[in-house]
Amino acid sequence: MKRLMTTLFILVALMVAGGAQADDDASAAAPSALDDAILLYWLTDYDAALDALSDIIDAGDEEADALAEAYIYRGSIYRIRRDFDLADDDKAQAFDLLPDSALAYAFRARLHLTRGERDAADDDIARARELAPQSAIVWYHSGRMAELNGDVDAALRDYDRAARLDPDFFPIFFERGNLYADAGNVLAARVNYDRAIRLQENFAVAYHNRAMLLFGRGDHEAAFADYAQAITHAPADPFNYNSRGMAHLALMQYDDAIADFTAAIAQDESFVTAYINRGVAHYQQGNHDIALGDFTLALTLQPESAIAYYNRAGVYQALGENENAVRDLERAVELGYPVDDA
């Protein structure tokens, strides 16, 4: 039997690639219902974007190119949500309306890549580049695909080309900032996040990621200001509250941390990470019974969460329930938690 270790609690940040939230796709803004819907999509307000795009499609009043674009973006939301059948249907509609649309090829390339169909994805993005070599959005997608495939140099080349073609295309600078942040180039990341925010002042996810960068550098006041902006512009996004709660927790501001984790859960009652993090904060305050409840709720939602078992083992240990502690620790190890035998 493994000897129970002194428990170290570990925070789990539920983020997209590389520890930073990433938005997904973009297009130039224009004063129309369609472009308003596309902007909502860019700002990752997918529920509102989906409703707006569906209204446009159902009305059927747009010209073929605009209607095709509405199908493309709605299909992309379905892709992000991994509803591939609906994504396929919308992409087919787009190609029926515009068979030689570079945008349709670029977005279908992303759909192929999401499904792991890399050869088909490469063919489609190559076709998009051939059809529209001067399109910033095509090179943006090419860069995103290179990034997702792990080719950082190619991604930067494509983002740089997209930026030269359209220096107001704000998602380029956000994604390039993420790439630099993941590479540890803090200055370049900051420059790109700053530019993305200057171009789109209500870009909540850019404030969020810049806050993470600033907090990591020890600039806590500026980081909390950015988290506040992220929450102002996306008050229903649980990630913003969870991330700010983690910052409070790192500074041992436990009441503020608990308030933010609770706010995250209010936005998404299935947000397992927020339950775990709130449990950590309660544990650090000595509220072991409350912490136990949070870790148990996390396991109810995600029965194979190794970190929830590990953290609950620490609570059982603190409560003197050693048999339960050992049982949870062994289960954490079975699920892949890196605990050494001792």
Architecture of domain 236-342: Alpha Horseshoe (1.25)
The whole-number pLDDT of residue 336 equals 95
The whole-number pLDDT of residue 211 equals 98
Please name the residues in contact with 287: beta carbons below 8 A apart, sequence gap of 6 or more.
Answer: none
Domain ranges of the chain: 31-99, 236-342
d(CA 110, CA 124): 9
pTM of the predicted model as reported, rounded to 2 decimal places = 0.86
d(CA 2, CA 225): 45
Please, is 318 exposed, middle or buried when counting C-beta atoms within 10 Å of its C-beta (0-12, 13-18, 19+)? middle
The whole-number pLDDT of residue 192 equals 98
Same fold, 31-99 and 236-342: yes
Cβ atoms of 211 and 242 closer than 8 Å: no
The whole-number pLDDT of residue 249 equals 98
d(CA 287, CA 265): 19
Q: Which two tokens stand for residue 308?
A: 């929830």
d(CA 240, CA 3): 38
d(CA 227, CA 225): 5
d(CA 103, CA 105): 5
Q: Which residues of the chain have pLDDT under 50?
A: 1-19, 25-30, 342
d(CA 101, CA 117): 20
Residue 134 phi/psi, 5° resolution?
A: -105, 15
Model pLDDT for residues 12-60, shown as the tens digit of each residue: 433 333 345 555 544 443 459 999 999 999 888 999 999 999 999 999 9
Supply the CATH classification number for the domain 31-99: 1.25.40
The whole-number pLDDT of residue 44 equals 86
Q: Which two tokens stand for residue 206?
A: 């850019």
